[in-house]
């Protein structure tokens, strides 16, 4: 009886290893494309955090939604943080909110 259960366990382990190796081969084949690899690298290691924050802030500010003022504040904060990150001096919470307030005032003057 013990030999039969060991054989089942061995077969199960072998099947699992086969599936795992097939999955790894499929993933390797999928990311072998240079364009896909570049996109994955940009997600994992963004070239510039400030550019990413800037794009995200602008996207949130320009998104059409019925809750405009609610989403404008986080968008302005992200946009402001992106500009402050470009500076060489350390930033604090106060400076981010000051810059966000200035960005919101600038946006309100446009409309």
- Cα separation, 61 vs 21, in Å, equals 45
- State the pLDDT at residue 87: 67
Give the tens place of pLDDT for each residue, 55-86: 888 888 777 776 666 777 787 888 787 777 77
Domain ranges of the chain: 2-44, 49-110
pLDDT at 54: 82
What are 41-63's pLDDT values in tens digits? Answer: 776 776 777 777 888 888 887 77
User: 78, 72, 81: which is closest to 111 by C-alpha?
Assistant: 72
pTM of the model: 0.41
């Amino acid at each position: 009886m013990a030999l039969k259960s060991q054989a089942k366990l061995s077969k199960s382990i072998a099947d699992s290893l086969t599936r795992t190796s097939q999955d790894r081969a499929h993933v390797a084949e999928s990311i072998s494309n240079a364009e896909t690899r570049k996109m994955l690298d940009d997600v994992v290691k963004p070239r510039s955090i400030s550019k990413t924050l800037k794009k995200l802030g602008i996207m949130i500010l320009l998104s059409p939604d019925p809750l405009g003022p609610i989403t404008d504040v986080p968008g302005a904060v992200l946009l402001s943080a992106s500009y402050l990150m470009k500076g060489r001096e350390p930033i604090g919470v106060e400076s981010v909110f000051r810059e966000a307030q200035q960005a919101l005032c600038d946006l309100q003057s446009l409309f």
